[in-house]
Amino acid sequence: MLKLLFLSLALTPAATLFTWNGAVAWPLFDGITLLFDLTPLAAFFMALLAIGAPFVALPMLRGKSDEPTYALYAVLLLGMQLLLLAGDFIGFFIGWEMMTWSSYLLLLRSPRIDLEGAQSYILFNLASAFLLLAGMLFLYSITDDFRIQAIDGLLTPDKWALFTLFGLAFLIKVGALPLHLWVPRSYDQAPDVFSAFLSALMSKMGIYGLMLLPLLFPDGLSEISGRFLNGPVAGYVLAWIGVITSIIATFKAIAQEDMKRLLAYSSIAQVGYIVTALGVGSSLAIGGALFQALVHTLVKLLLFITIAGIILQTGHRRFTDLGQLISRMPISFFGVLIGIIGLAGMPPLPGFAAKYLMYIGLIDAHWLLLLAALILSSTASFVYCYKLIYGPFLGHANSPEAKIATEAPWHYLVPQILLMGMLVALGIFPGWAIEVLIDPVLIGLGMTPIGAPAWSVLATSYGGYDGIAVMGVFATIFVLITALFFLGRGRMHRATSSYDLSFCGEVPTAATPLHYGAGMGRELRRVPLIGWILRHTTINFYSGLMHQTQATAGMIGTLYGSNPQVWILFAVLIFALTLTVQMLTGA
């Protein structure tokens, strides 16, 4: 009964999305009114929440009912809906705080959480909340208004201050480098299913916030500091932040030996692409960013839920301890397979449509160096995608549990199958997503819609592709060649044992270490750039920063010697300097 109630609570975002009509104004004290409305932009993210919330809730229903978790999850959903509906910064901030605290308490309920993980989560997220608070109060101090709307007539320094405050607040949530420190820890230590929610949906709230910035500054980001080539300068900086985040996070992901940590770093990288595309700010790129947000939500839900199923069935989370689950967990295998194809952005799945729009957006803006960097991180992601499927499913079983594991329970499989279906359908009909989900947002933001001549066609001014043609040709050839192969002469034998390998002329035994899962990617360190990235950590960056600050402080400290005469000398000198400067400038 309680479980049914919980499941229906998880459907509330969908209910809000479909039944919301008209704006609500709630007069508070002193003429301050809370506004709630479902803008097209918010509706897009509400749709993501509506898809994701029940899928995450379903696996949570397994076993004994856990009332506190259910209650916190409900508060979390409420907070996120509030944040999306808010038409002013007060409602937005309340929603943001509800989201932060309820997710923190949910995180604390994990048996694996340690002090460091919990602290970094709450500290970074509070920092984000306070930056947001500072931003909104600053906005109020200038405009006497909390509403989220276009602000005109600001001075350039004010714009920069607002942009930086809001930008930093949302970049922390997104996990941009070097503000990502909390992401791998919390995604790793959170309850296995809840990680899916953190990665797929909560990171999108940061993206939603970043997408409010063009709303605040009506000419996009370009009015903050002019334009560079075909895009805004401020966006160029944002785009580089996104792409550097994604490159470093991709290489870090390759080096991970734990499935959930790998996925956490991959989330940072994938959300980095979105930040890059947002920086371009053209309608193609924003369309790509939204598409990527959609695909990333589906893919990460699928992957985290599948991985949670594997961890549940085997009790292992490291690549070294798993292997050869393909025959024991076939549905999970397909879940991860579809997931990584989406993650890698391979046609014919929709990850490619998102990549295509983002690439075209960058080419259209003539930002080719960014494009090269984006391609680097997106190609490097193939390695961790392969690791993610090889480690658990292929190779040799490396632990007793992996040898006897069975398929995950239906609570995990139902979301997996539905998500796989959604991804394949989106791959065939990228034009549908453009027309139904993305174009309304672009129109809402006052941009040119991308448009789609047919549901299966993704069309841009740079050319497009037909999802049905790609999927159809590939599937037809695959069926034909398989049929021809079976019709042809000759027999096929299954190798008698899994040790029947070409192994340097020797016969390996069960004692031979044959599983390559943990070592994969280790040799990448020999490439100088990757080695350099992997040798450095963000913690070292912060401690380096601390040492530098201390050294600087120490140096400045030496100026304040114990000798009062030196102070007086300095005071006189500074006074004289100020006078000279004022005289020279004619003040």
Partner 1 sequence: MLHYFIDAFAMIGMSYFMGFLFYGFYRQFNARVQRRWGPSIFQNFFDNMKFLFKTETIIHGPMFFFGPMIIFAGAVTTVLFVPYLKDSIWLQGFSQSGNMILIVYLLVVGPLGNALAVGSSGNPFGVMGVTRGLTRLMGLEVPFLLGLALVMVQHETASVHAIMAAQPDFAHWNLVTNPLAFLVMILPFMASQHASPFDVVGAPVEVYAGPRVEFSGRLLGILMTQNMMMTVAKLVLIADLFLGGATTIWELIAKTFALFLLTAAISTSFPRLRTEQTVDFFWKIPLGLGVISVIATIWFPWS
Q: Within 355-394, which residues bind partner 1 (CB under 8 A)?
A: 355-356, 359-360, 363, 366, 368-369, 371-372, 375-376, 379-380, 382-383, 385-386, 389-390, 393-394
User: CB of 375: closest distance to partner 1 in angstroms?
Assistant: 5
Cα 498 to Cα 458: distance, rounded to the nearest angstrom? 44
Identify which of residues 461 and 580 has a Cβ nearer to partner 1 in the complex.
461
Look at residue 503 and give its three-state secondary structure: strand
The nearest distance, CB 389 to partner 1, in angstroms, is 7
Residues 250/242, Cβ–Cβ less than 8 Å: no
- The answer to whether 449 and 461 have CB atoms below 8 angstroms apart is no
- Beta carbons within 8 Å of 331's beta carbon, 6+ residues apart: 407, 408, 413, 416, 417
Residue 64 within binding range of partner 1, rule CB under 8 A: no
Q: CA–CA separation, 508 vs 515, rounded Å?
A: 12
396 binds partner 1 (CB under 8 A): yes
Question: For residue 435, what is the DSSP state?
Answer: I
* Residues from 403 through 462 that contact partner 1 (CB under 8 A): 457, 461-462
Provide, rounded to whole angstroms, the least separation between the CB of residue 366 and partner 1.
Answer: 5
Single-letter code of the amino acid located at 322 = L
- Minimum distance between the CB of residue 530 and partner 1, rounded to whole angstroms? 8
235/395 with CB nearer partner 1: 395
CB of 466 to partner 1, least distance (A): 3
Q: How far is the CB of 226 from partner 1 (least distance, A)?
A: 15
Judged by CB under 8 A, the stretch of 133-141, 189-197, 323-331, 564-572 that binds partner 1 is 323-331
Of the pair 318, 355, the CB lying nearest partner 1 is at 355
Q: With contact defined as beta carbons under 8 Å apart, do 358 and 289 qualify?
A: yes
Q: Which helix (H) or strand (E) holds 227?
A: strand 227-228
**Site for partner 1 (CB under 8 A): which residue of 347, 350, 430, 431?**
347
Query: What minimum distance in Å lies between the beta carbon of 420 and partner 1?
Result: 16
Residue 380: CB minimum distance to partner 1, A? 5
Nearer to partner 1, 73 or 251 (CB): 251
CA 452/CA 136 separation, integer angstroms = 38
> CB of 99 within 8 A of CB of 80?
yes
**Contacting residues for 56 by C-beta, under 8 A, at least 6 apart:** 10, 193, 194, 196, 197, 200, 201, 301, 305, 415
Q: Smaller CB distance to partner 1: residue 185 or 387?
A: 387
Query: Taking contact as CB under 8 A, which single stretch among the options 105-113, 288-296, 324-332, 405-413 is the one that binds partner 1?
Result: 324-332
- Closer residue to partner 1 in complex, CB, 473/571: 473
Answer for which of 188, 321, 439, 466 binds partner 1 (CB under 8 A) is 466
For residues 197, 201, 202 and 208, what is the CA-based torsion angle, rounded to 10 degrees?
Answer: 180
CB of 347 to partner 1, least distance (A): 5
* Window 200-239: residues binding partner 1 (CB under 8 A): 229
Site for partner 1 in 268-297 (CB under 8 A): none
Alpha helices, DSSP H, located in 315-432: 330-344, 350-364, 368-393, 400-404, 410-428, 430-432
Task: In angstroms, give the least distance from the CB of 224 to partner 1.
Answer: 21
- C-beta closer to partner 1: residue 106 or 365: 365
Q: Which is nearer to partner 1, 100 or 377 (CB)?
A: 377
Site for partner 1 in 478-537 (CB under 8 A): 478, 481-482, 485, 488-495, 498, 500-504, 513-516, 520-521, 523-524, 526-529
Q: Looking at 85-93, 193-201, 342-350, 440-448, which segment touches partner 1 (CB under 8 A)?
A: 342-350
Task: Collect all residues with Cβ–Cβ distance below 8 Å to 521 and sequence separation of at least 6.
Answer: 254, 255, 383, 384, 387
- By CB under 8 A, residue 395 contacts partner 1: yes
Q: 304 or 393: whose CB is closer to partner 1?
A: 393
CB-nearer residue toward partner 1: 205 or 452: 452
Q: Considering the complex, what minimum distance in angstroms separates the CB of residue 345 from partner 1?
A: 7
Interactions with partner 1, residue window 467-486 (CB under 8 A): 469-470, 473-475, 477-478, 481-482, 485
Cβ within 8 Å of residue 554, ≥6 positions away:
none
Closest to 204 in 3D by CA, of 274, 128, 111: 274
CB of 508 to partner 1, least distance (A): 9
DSSP string covering 96-138 = HHHHHHHHHHHHHTSTT--HHHHHHHHHHHHHHHHHHHHHHHH
Encode burial over 21-55: b for 16+ CB neighbours within 10 A, e otherwise.
eeeeeeeeeeeeebbbebbebbbbbbbbbbbbbbb
Identify which of residues 112 and 522 has a Cβ nearer to partner 1 in the complex: 522
- Number of residues binding to partner 1, judged by CB under 8 A: 77
Nearest-approach distance from CB 211 to partner 1, in angstroms: 25
Given a contact cutoff of 8 angstroms between Cβ atoms, the answer to whether 320 and 517 are in contact is: yes
Identify residue 239 by its one-letter amino acid code.
A
